[in-house]
Amino acid sequence: MIVVLRKDATEEQVNHLVEKIQKLGLTPHISKGTERTIIGVIGPEDILQITPLEIFPGVEKVMPVLSPYKLVSREMRDKDTVIDVGKGVLIGGSRIAVMAGPCAVEGLDMLMEIGREVKKAGARILRGGAFKPRTSPYSFQGIGEEGLKYLAQAARELDMVTVSEVMDTRDVALVAKYVDILQIGARNMQNFNLLKEVGNTKKPVLLKRGLSSTVKELLMSAEYILAGGNFNVMLCERGIRTFEDATRNTLDISAIPVIKQLSHLPVIVDPSHAAGKWGLVPALSKAAVAAGTDGLIIEVHTRPEEAVSDGPQSLKPATFGSLMNELQPLARAIGREI
């Protein structure tokens, strides 16, 4: 339910309405725009039949939210969400954020080397996995807390923001201690206990679309996080599983404008996991920028042939630098910047 207040609604009237909503056992979410203030009301709508909110002073109208995802929807918030992830880096708005780094943190020297290269090319967010979900139990699983410490040190020395995956509810506090953005991987998109746990934090969350998940299912998963009180969520299209085997996954470019029609949350694209081949990453990155993405997350490695994870899809620093240069005029053509 959305309560739209009149332009002349006073602060006292807003506070009185919020207090009444809370007394009914419902959860109010206030969104103040340049002209109007709206209050999103979450909870059983049959409760509102007892006390219609239209009768309160300052209320212009009350509208139902038709979509099953309430807080995530455009109905709840028409203005795009912009997330401050720290150190002056914003996700959303006019600037397209670029996250880059190795798939897995292998050691401090390697991480620092790659971090310097991607920062020089223009990336402001350093990515790296300390916990790695792998299809095979015998594959490299990450170096855990040691890798998180390396990320934290690299962030301090390079003055960058960091993003790393959290896989287990028991590790949320640990990962949040060291990194700036918590990543929920594709395999965990519907791990609802994990979504609830990161919803209890105020850390920005990068939520990746599941291997065979619809856009609606992605938005419903995001709803779990927002319902927990964490509105700092960005959605990531990283390719979905189809019958096509020429690429690792099929990048759903249409998901970018579809999500932007349905939701106010920022959209990030992962061309590396979609392609699975480094030679395809530049083209997919350009397509994502043209389609309106708010950010890219790209795997970069100085020696991809020696990488312990996802070497074939990792760009070398020189190629990444060239790509960043090529993206600049494309971004400017659509009124944005990298």
pTM of the model: 0.88
CB-based contacts of 64: which residues, under 8 Å, 6+ apart?
1, 2, 45
167 and 126 part of one domain? yes
56 and 87 part of one domain? no
Helix (H) or strand (E) holding 4: strand 2-5
pLDDT tens sequence across 268-278:
999 999 999 99
11 and 129 part of one domain? no
CATH number at residue 317: 3.20.20.70
Within the chain, how many helices (H) and strands (E) appear? Answer: 10, 14
The mean pLDDT of the chain is 92
State the DSSP string of 37-103: EEEEEES-GGGGGTS-GGGSTTEEEEE---SS--TTBTTT--SPP-EEEETTEEESSSBPEEEEE-S
pLDDT tens sequence across 121-158:
999 999 999 986 655 554 555 688 999 999 999 999 99
pLDDT tens sequence across 36-57:
788 888 887 777 667 788 888 9
C-alpha–C-alpha distance, residues 256 and 283, integer Å: 16
CATH number at residue 41: 3.30.70.1140
% pLDDT > 70, the chain: 95
Q: What pLDDT score does 138 carry?
A: 44
- The larger pLDDT score, comparing residue 65 to residue 196, is at 196
pLDDT tens sequence across 89-101:
999 999 999 999 9
C-alpha–C-alpha distance, residues 185 and 166, integer Å: 8
* Assigned domain for 72 exists: no
Residue 66 pLDDT exceeds 80? no
Q: What pLDDT score does 42 carry?
A: 83
pLDDT tens sequence across 18-40:
998 998 888 888 877 767 788 88
pLDDT tens sequence across 298-335:
999 999 999 888 899 999 999 999 999 999 999 999 99
- Out of 15, 31, 63, a domain closes at 63
- The larger pLDDT score, comparing residue 1 to residue 277, is at 277
Asked if 287 and 250 touch (Cβ cutoff 8 Å), the reply is no
Q: Domain range holding 284? A: 83-333
231 and 175 part of one domain? yes
* Assigned domain for 338 exists: no
* Assigned domain for 302 exists: yes
C-alpha–C-alpha distance, residues 154 and 115, integer Å: 7
Two structure tokens written together for 7: 């332009």
- The larger pLDDT score, comparing residue 115 to residue 306, is at 115
Q: What pLDDT score does 76 carry?
A: 86
C-alpha–C-alpha distance, residues 113 and 324, integer Å: 18
Sign of CA dihedral 129, 177, 187, 231: negative
